[in-house]
Structure 1
Amino acid sequence: MHSSPPTHPSAAHPRTAKADSWQAAWYGTRRWSFWLLPLNWLFVLASAVRRYALLRWQQKTLATPVIVVGNISVGGTGKTPLLIALVKWLQAQGYTPGVVSRGYGGRAETYPYLLGAQSTAAQAGDEPVTIYQQTGCAVCVGPDRLAAARMLEDQGCDLLLSDDGLQHYRLGRDIEIAVVDGQRGLGNGWRLPVGPLREPISRLATVDWVIVNSPSADFAVPGLADLYFIPMQIQPHALVNLSTGAAHDVSLLAAQSVNAVAGIGNPQRFINTLAESGITAQLHAFPDHHAYTASDFAFANQRPLVMTEKDAVKCKAFAQPDWYYLAINACLPDAFWSAFAQRIERVMEQKKSRFGV
């Protein structure tokens, strides 16, 4: 299957090694990023001015309720699985949700761009395509989230979810959900570029829910020891063949060694999930939102290949017979869903009272 000379992804893609260096500074023991403190002060000042200006003069409130799902740090935290779980739950309750996304990594001919059955990651970005394929809900991407949201209103959506929209203050919101990586936490706790934070840790105290993805036993938020958070667990439920679309039990590759491909913010999390399923994997990490070609998979061995679903949407055209993606579910406690349902009902009543819809 992989007869070409071996290619080490980190060597082929310098951005991966560069990202690893930043991760070591933000989440590890490296301290070189503190030389960037002057830039940190500029970032903090610019962010504060931008946030004030958007909230004061530019934020628009829509008649349709808006739920923001985002984080205060850069890199993968598990937003996409959570957003998919929220959409599916809302659909099961009879709502018609739509998703607004920036569409990072894609380039459509026009914006806002409404996804369809033939939409590709090259047009819309890998995460929006994944959300659309998993849920079938209306998904609209574009740099202007307000325009995308209004297009979804025109499509008949009665609830809007803004993917990675916590810092996009121009679009007013009724519910804010922040996602935190329960294994890496918030790193060194500093703002960019010294640390991984887009906003201060105190921002978590202002959102409606803090969802912690796979929290460790001693997980805590520095400075917010009393912060109440909702634990979320990621559970694999199938291996899906890229070529045929057939779903198999995860045990199909148990006790086997595989090549694991991950172009996500935290590739190690994917390896950990595979290991918990009994699959031994050699990680081939690529930059987040990487645009794959067949040459990226010229590995030295003949092992089966497993990737994330987000990566799979970009690789089906040249997939080999033993390539799979790991389908996952985000699982949250019943208490969250009960509270979420009550909050949605209150927001709907408030919107009806204010806008008469």
Structure 2
Amino acid sequence: MAEPTTASTSTDAAGNGAPQKSRGLEGVTALDTELSFIDGQKGELLYRGYTIEDLAQNASFEETAYLLWKGELPTQSQLDDLNGQLREARQVHPDLLDHLRHHTPKGANPMAAMRTALSMLSAYDDEADVMEPEANYRKAVRLTAKLPTLVAAFDRIRKGKDVIAPTGEGSTAHDFLYQLNGEAPGPAAEEIMDAALVLHAEHGLNASTFTARVIGSTLADMYSAVVGAVGALKGPLHGGANIEVMKTLLELDESGETAQEFVDRKIENKEKIMGIGHRVYKTLDPRATILRNLLSGLSEEKGDTRWLEMSDTIRSTVKERKGLDANVDFYSASVYYLLGIEADLYTPIFAMSRMTGWTAHLLEQWQDNRLIRPRAEYVGARGKTVTPVGDRG
């Protein structure tokens, strides 16, 4: 369920019960959901009743996607069927690849490129405007399958490399890393990528998910809703945070400044440290714990522990000085970096995973749809009259 807080009511001048304002809608419960539950005080995250720790360790990304879409973990035959659908749907129309090659600047922001490519996908989907539940489920599968192909193709094209077609085999994590790097990933890299996709798949009524549900509540199609979600995720206060985390770590590594000195300077200047603190969690983000453990193993495997050491020092120092803890972005940045992934692809990879959550929320929204239409309190001027244009000066 969403955060279990509701807006209180007050009485306006006419004696009517009116909702109290909440800046940023913080603490406001807008709707009911069965998809995920967050306890910010305990640092707990559930997907449909399963802890994130259990899913990250014992369920694949594909199993997690099925769980979010269908409400239960799949049987083996159901999982085999979903895997078959995902593998078949990974190919994208050649026109989209031509657009990325010839009409997308090499220096384009990857999220801007994905925003356009996802919108274009709808033109090649015969069911784009079909709103029956099964058609929407099939679109959720296709969107989840095709976005990794688009991300990998964009990255290779901008580097002057040939696009690698999906293999039609293996997991989402395996095929994405293969298309991105041109070689099959090792078991550890595939396992870590798969776990990262599970961890980012769903997280309540965050900004991008709320955007998707608002658009969906108008009965706009699924493509319109997820394009809006991508636009929201692009912001540095949402999906772009782990890019800023990695920039910070790289700058710190080159500066010669110690991690403690860095934190002291940031606190003294009252500057935000990206990847630290969360609107919901008042303790350590449970996803950060899992990613920290993945980073530890990957660092040892790569023989490069500096990112782990810097991150741990920053985290412990901020916790001691400010009482704030790490969120999911704090350790995911270093995990992706050690997997050889360009920093500006971190947010598109976030979108690859969160596509399952966005589409699951849309499927839920449309089960009992109501237009989402909050009100704004007018605080502007009153009583003005129009002066003829010639008299205005």
Indicate the TM-score class for this superposition, using the shorter chain for normalisation.
under 0.3
Q: TM-score, normalised by structure 2?
A: 0.26
More strand by share: 1
More helix by share: 2
Q: Which has the larger radius of gyration?
A: 2
Q: TM-score, normalised by structure 1?
A: 0.28
